[in-house]
């Protein structure tokens, strides 16, 4: 039996190698210019963050010691939930161990057979997997196409118990985002429940970094906000926030992702408590991040004539096929620059790319070597 399994696995892996889709985990040199990290404000090694994280761990221990429904829910977790609710302008919330688990918990448990889910075509895999494996009917609308979404709403109104609309704020592979004000206008016109994943919007957008919902001034009208303590918050873990106590109570009682895992560590709760405080007041850092993101986009547009209306720290360089993405990645690595080569199935066929992720500490001088490498590659 094991020989049969080994043979099948090796065969499938060889196919991936031939198609330039093979993945492997590598230890990367810390001295490289890192343009692949989602630590948008370079807070992983911040002394204040480390101090509060260690202080919290010293007080409550290295781990939570249990699942949240046994004895794993500690005062530091409650403090974190309260801070999130105040920041994101919601009434009820819960923590989970990962963003993947948070999205799965929501989409596997809240929608039922007599409901309908309408989701952006480019939603994160954690959401898409939950839709594909669930029993709820779903339809995907073209990326950011709110006209198509409205057609779907019109065509399906009064046919289902509840309609859900699911979207990311800042999309992780493209760095773009929906017109949230227009989306809320649709919500006022048609009865649906809006689920917004703010994983990449948090920290980056909004007056206090609360995300796209704050930027668009519609925090009160987003039904469910999902977010992560990774990315701008420089740690691990996730949260679900809402104004409905029933939603949180239901997920607490039904979501296996919440019930059956040892809970978020006190250390990571401490990280999030510290980084939220820093990010809320990081006005200059947000401005610096916007400035360097726009500068890099302008430099790239001068080379390949690609235009974009969005200014976020995620800058995709579409190169077409997986082999080209790997070659550009290798060229960058040879020059001491770490970038991510993103290939199918993470992105659509023929849309392989180098995804640049910027942070507020980067400068024009630091990015100039990458511009030189990209110019060299574009001439080929």
Q: How far apart are CA 226 and CA 89, in angstroms?
A: 13
Q: Is 31 a catalytic residue?
A: no
Active site residue 231: yes
Which residue among 124, 187, 267, 285 is the active-site one? Answer: 124
For the question of residue 39 being annotated catalytic, the response is: no
Residue 197 falls in the annotated catalytic set: yes
Distance of alpha carbon 168 from alpha carbon 61, whole angstroms: 34
> Closest Cα to residue 149, out of 172, 109, 128, 178?
178
C-alpha torsion angle, residues 369, 370, 375, 378 (rounded to 10): 150
Determine the Cα–Cα distance for residues 297 and 308; give it in Å rounded to an integer. 8
CA distance 79 to 59: 14
Q: Which of 200, 215, 324, 357 is catalytic?
A: 200
Give the full edge-to-edge strand order of the sheet including 340-342. 314-320, 352-357, 340-342
Phi-psi map region of 305: left, alpha, beta (phi>0 left; psi -120 to 50 alpha):
left
Sheet containing 163-168, strands listed edge to edge, beginning at the edge strand earlier in sequence: 92-96, 238-242, 224-228, 193-197, 163-168, 116-120, 137-141
Q: Where are the alpha helices (DSSP H) in 89-139?
A: 99-109, 125-133
Can 365 be counted among the known catalytic residues? no
Residue 302 a catalytic site member: no
Catalytic choice (115, 120, 168, 257): 168
Contact partners, residue 12, CB within 8 Å, separation at least 6: none
What is the helix (H) or strand (E) element at residue 191, kind and residue range? none
Q: Is 38 among the catalytic positions?
A: yes
**Within a 10 A sphere around the Cβ of 253, how many other Cβ atoms?**
11
Dist. CA 220–CA 325, nearest whole Å: 41
Task: Say which of 36, 46, 126, 172 is annotated catalytic.
Answer: 172
Q: How far apart, in Å, are the Cα atoms of 132 and each of 108, 135, 183, 230, 245?
A: 10, 8, 24, 25, 27
Which residue among the candidates 77, 187, 231, 267 is catalytic per the annotation?
A: 231
Task: Show which residues are catalytic.
Answer: 38, 124, 168, 172, 197, 200, 231
């Amino acid at each position: 039996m094991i020989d049969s399994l080994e043979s099948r696995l090796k065969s499938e892996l060889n196919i991936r190698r031939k198609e330039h889709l093979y993945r492997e985990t590598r230890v990367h040199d810390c001295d490289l210019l890192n343009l692949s990290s989602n630590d948008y404000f370079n807070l992983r090694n911040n002394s204040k963050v480390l101090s509060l994280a260690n202080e919290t761990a010293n007080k409550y221990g290295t781990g939570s010691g249990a699942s949240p429904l046994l004895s794993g829910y500690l005062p530091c977790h409650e403090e974190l939930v309260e801070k999130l609710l105040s920041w994101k302008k919601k009434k009820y919330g819960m923590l989970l161990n990962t963003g993947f688990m948070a999205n799965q918990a929501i989409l596997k448990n809240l929608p039922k057979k007599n409901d309908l889910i309408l989701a952006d075509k480019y939603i994160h895999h954690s959401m898409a997997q939950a839709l594909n494996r669930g029993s709820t009917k779903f339809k995907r609308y073209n990326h950011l196409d709110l006209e198509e979404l409205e057609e779907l709403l019109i065509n399906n109104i009064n046919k289902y118990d509840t309609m859900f609309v699911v979207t990311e704020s800042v999309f992780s592979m493209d760095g773009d985002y929906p017109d949230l004000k227009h989306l809320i206008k649709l919500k006022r016109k048609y009865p649906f429940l809006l689920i917004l994943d703010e994983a990449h919007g948090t920290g980056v957008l909004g007056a206090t970094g609360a995300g796209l919902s704050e930027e668009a001034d519609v925090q009160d009208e987003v039904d469910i906000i999902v977010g992560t303590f990774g990315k701008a918050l420089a740690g691990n873990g996730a949260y679900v926030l809402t104004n409905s106590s029933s939603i949180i109570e239901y997920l607490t009682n039904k979501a296996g992702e919440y019930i059956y895992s040892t809970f978020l560590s006190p250390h990571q709760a401490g990280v999030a408590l510290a980084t939220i405080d820093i990010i809320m007041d990081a006005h200059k850092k947000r401005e610096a991040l916007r400035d360097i993101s726009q500068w890099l986009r302008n430099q790239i547009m001068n080379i390949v004539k690609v235009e974009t209306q969005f200014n976020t720290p995620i800058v995709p360089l579409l190169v077409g096929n997986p082999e080209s993405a790997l070659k550009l990645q290798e060229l960058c690595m040879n020059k001491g620059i770490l970038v991510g080569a993103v290939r199918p199935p993470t992105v659509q066929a023929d849309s392989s790319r180098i995804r640049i992720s910027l942070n507020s500490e980067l400068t024009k001088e630091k990015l100039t070597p990458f511009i030189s490498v990209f110019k060299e590659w574009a001439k080929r």
